[in-house]
Chain A
Amino acid sequence: MAAAFVGLFCRDLRLALRHGGDTGLVLAFFVLSVVLFPFGVGPEPEVLARLAPGVLWVSALLAALLSLDRLFLPDYEDGGLDLIALSPLPLELAALAKCAAHWISTGVPLALVSPALAFVVDLEPRAIGTLIVSLLVGTPALSLIGGVAAALTLGARRQGVLLSLLVLPLYVPPLVFGAGAVEASALGTGPRAELLLLGALTLAALPLCPWAAAAALRQALE
């Protein structure tokens, strides 16, 4: 079972890497949306520094949202998902493997690129470490919650719009704690509490979301 889990995880990762386009698109979207903000609110460093935690987190969240429809849809369309469901690997673990691969191919690159963008919006330099950590801790929750929504909307008309409508209210807690951690760090009042709560969200999503996603996949394949 472990071999099947690792196999599926590696397959998804290889697909993401060799396509290349998906991760690149997510990163490009992240960079562009952050770069657009100074044009919108003006170049004053104080204003930008005040907005920076929110801008960085909201942009990362939207970038992660952008790639969610690739999570199950290609396998659903070419029938691969049926084979995955028939395999001895429980569908819950299959969903977890796919979400984990999604996180490695979107969440981790977003976190790694974020320091460069922090300078674009004049984030306090001492908050950059927190920014990376908060994205690394928070983006797994985004991938997992998004996995549930992606599985629910398989085969729907206008999947993209539906997906964002379902996911955005559920993304409020990670956003609050993620941006809160960066802000606390920028203000100099340690980000410990927010980071712990963000970690709690991810840890709660870890067992619950694959379970819900598997239920959604089952009824999609019925």
Chain B
Amino acid sequence: MSGQMLSRFANPARFMRLSAALLPWCAGASLATIAAGLYLGLIVAPPDYQQGEAVRIMYIHVPAAWMALNVYLFVAVASGIALVWRHPLAEIAARSAAPIGAAFTFVCLTTGSLWGRPMWGTWWVWDARLTSVLVLFFLYLGYIALVNGFDDPGRGGRAGSILALVGVVNLPIIKFSVDWWNTLHQPASVLRFGKPTIALSMLLPLLVMALGFTLLFAALLLVRMRTELNERKIRALRLNRMVVPAPARSQRERAEPAQPA
């Protein structure tokens, strides 16, 4: 990625124009794709021969899990760009993406728990995968708390960028250690599906849903980034008004008496 290419997109005004044009398309496409994916997954796809209708939770659960990881990678890459090139939009992208990623992680954990109840007979198992997703959720929460933990938003953004990079280095280590810990503590897991090659009728809705979730992420990200930019503009305007010294303002007010409405 060249620096020139990056700086082309660093202009907030250009971003606002571009995102305003892009947003309806992203939102519309994500709604259409998710609707199609839900139709394919909930109605067209066959029930599983072992798990019955409960398998349909998969069409939400698995794409949400993919998004949970991919959004974290997105946050880390955007943070890296923000730190290296001091790219203002990359930092805003990172801090806007994190709550969306945390929401996907939460959806993944909740649907997993709902799925586990009929399949494993319990809401929660300390299975290696569940545990590492839970840790990922805590990483998201830590990032969000750190970004919002400072009075100066710029400071929070920079600290958050470093934390996101530390987290992404740690993610494989945590995953590995949790796998190890799990095999240490419970040798035979209750019920696992032994990774059968998934049928096309089930794979297709899964991929459609994954595309829909990705588009949804893009649309939500654009909305959040636009909101953040507008918020900064408002804050800057407010500060400007406060900076105008009081006597100057009263003089001006004397010079131009309030117009009767």
Contact = CB atoms under 8 A, between A and B. Distances in A.
Given A170-B170, A216-B159, A165 B141 contact: yes
Q: SS class of chain B's interface: helix, strand, loop or mixed?
A: helix
Interface residues of B, number: 30
Contacts of A177: 177, 180
Given A156-B149, A215-B162, A208 B169 contact: yes
B150 A152 contact: no
Contacts of B141: 165
A176 B142 contact: no
B158 to A, nearest CB: 4
A19 interface: no
Contact of A180 (B83, B163, B170, B181): B181
B44 interface: no
B166 interface: yes
B166 A170 contact: yes
B259 to A, nearest CB: 43
Contacts of A173: 170, 173-174, 176-177
Interface in A83-97: none
A157 B166 contact: no
Contacts of B145: 162, 165-166
B150 A155 contact: yes
Interface string B6-43: 00000000000000000000000000000000000000
Nearest to A204: B173
Given A148-B166, A176-B180, A176-B181, A166 B155 contact: no
B178 interface: yes
Interface string B172-192: 011011101100100000000
A156 B146 contact: yes
28 contacts: A148-B162, A152-B146, A152-B162, A153-B146, A153-B149, A155-B150, A155-B155, A156-B156, A157-B150, A157-B151, A158-B149, A162-B142, A162-B145, A162-B146, A162-B149, A165-B141, A169-B138, A169-B139, A170-B167, A177-B177, A197-B180, A201-B173, A204-B173, A215-B83, A215-B162, A219-B158, A220-B155, A220-B159
Given A157-B150, A162-B149, A170-B166, 6 more contacts: A152-B162, A152-B163, A153-B146, A153-B159, A169-B170, A180-B181
Interface of A: 148, 152-153, 155-158, 162, 165-166, 168-170, 172-173, 176-177, 180, 183, 197, 201, 204, 208, 212, 215-216, 219-220, 222
